[in-house]
Structure formats: structure tokens, C-alpha cells
Amino acid sequence: MVNSELKNKVALITGANKGLGLEMSRQLGQHGLTILIAARNLEAAKTAATNLHNEGISAQAIALDITDSTQIQSAFQEISNSFGKLDILINNAGVFLDGDWLTSNASSVSINIIRETFNTNFFALIELTQVLLPLILKSPSGRIVNMSSIEGSLTLHATPNSPTYDSKPFAYNASKAAVNAFTIHLAHELRNTPVKINSAHPGWVKTELGGEGAMMDIAEGAKTGVELAMLPDDGPSGGFFHLGEPVPW
């Protein structure tokens, strides 16, 4: 039975036409939320929304290249006109351009790759969040989830024998560490509001990014983002989590 309170909630997930974004959309939609499937390719978003609709989920497609300021403003207007608020934003869209996970390239990665990585993973994420924040503040229980990565943990990168110690693709890792900093700062700024913002490490998941050698299936990988999107009013804000457990910064 769908909770009537959840049925009135609206969630926007970026990069939601496939992989973790699609699965988080599915899991949130199963709780009765209206899901906005955001993707650069509108037709891909429409296909994903139709497939979810066929599963009994309320889903709508929205064209959103998060690196395009015009499309971000259009998304704001569309959500404002249709719903008047936004309850959940999951910043899921991202890129990995370093080459491979076991590279150590801080001395050689090109500035262009660093810039392109940060443009999508960091600057676009911030711009989208800032533009949509007035709508999130209109929600009685706004939630922002930044899909980060354990690769963004400076503590683990500096700790020999940690899970990420020998994984040093600089552009990607630095972008996720920067996202974590944004999470901490925005959570502090919004600490006296109902909005909660957290970073999520989904795990090593069998997606295009994670590869077939990953340890977790997509359904399991989606759980952390979904849990943070549906935090109760007494839940944490300004944290970094994986399946309910804190990840070191």
C-alpha cells in the first residue's frame, strides 16, 4: 500500500536513464513518489520513464544536461510550474575520464581532463543544486543526495592498506573529494532548515562505470542513495555514508 504522504513527493534524479540512476528511480518510485527522470538525451529519458510507468511507477522524463545552464533553468521552470516544489534531488550524473581505476596520474593527467571532470562532477552539480534549492526549501522535508564515492575519501587515500590506497585516478578522486566538501558546507548553511544533505558511496557496483568485475549488483548499489533520500526528520545531515555506515572523509 502506497503511503499517501510519499505519493505527494517529487524526486529528481540526474543521469537516471540507466544504471544506478534508473535503479534509484525505480526503488523510490516503488514507495509511491513521482520520479523525474533527468538525462541529457530526452528520448532515453522517455524510454526509461515509460518502462517505469509500465511497472506501476509515476515517472516523467525531463531533458537535463547538467553542464548546460539554460537546461538547468528550464528544469527549474518546469518543476516549479508542474509541482511548485521539489522534495528530493539526487545528484547522480557524473563522468570518469582518467582511463582506469588503478592508475596513479597526478603528475601526468592533462589539465583538460581535470577541467572536464570537474565541470560535470563538481561545478554542474553545484549549479544545479543552487538553482533548484528554492524549490527544495519549499518542501516540508527536502533531501539532497550527492552521489560521491569512497574514492573521494582523503583519509582512506592516505592510509596504507585501505581499500582505495592503490587507486589514484586523480581527476575523478579529486572531484568527489570536492563534492564531499560541498556537502559539508551546504549542510552547515542549511542546518536550521528541514533540508538534509548527505554524500553517498554506493559501493563498487556493476555499472558502466564500475565494470563487470564489481562486487555489488545495481539493486544493492542503489540502496544507499535511496535511504538518504528518504531520511526521517531526525536523520543525519552533512555526512558521508554507505549502507547506513559512515565513510571517513
pLDDT in tens, the chain (249 residues): 344 566 689 999 999 999 999 999 999 999 999 999 999 999 999 999 999 999 999 999 999 999 999 999 999 999 999 999 999 999 999 999 998 888 889 999 999 999 999 999 999 999 999 999 999 999 999 999 999 999 999 999 999 999 999 999 999 999 999 999 999 999 999 999 999 999 999 987 656 565 555 566 889 899 999 999 999 999 999 999 999 999 999
| 4 phi and psi angles, rounded to 5 deg | -65, -30
Instruction: Provide the pLDDT for residue 1.
Output: 36
Instruction: Provide the pLDDT for residue 100.
Output: 87
Domain ranges in the chain are 4-243
Largest CA distance in the chain: 55
Instruction: Provide the pLDDT for residue 218.
Output: 82
Q: d(Cα 64, Cα 118) in Å, to the nearest integer? A: 18
Alpha carbons within 13 A on the beta-carbon side of 156: 18
Strand ordering across the sheet containing 245-246: 59-63, 34-39, 10-14, 88-91, 143-147, 196-200, 240-242, 245-246
Instruction: Provide the pLDDT for residue 203.
Output: 85
Superfamily of structural domain 4-243? NAD(P)-binding Rossmann-like Domain (3.40.50.720)
Instruction: Provide the pLDDT for residue 103.
Output: 86
Alpha carbons within 13 A on the beta-carbon side of 56: 6
Measured CA distances, 205 to 20, 101, 211 (Å): 8, 13, 7
Q: d(Cα 230, Cα 150) in Å, to the nearest integer? A: 21
User: Model's pTM, two decimal places?
Assistant: 0.94
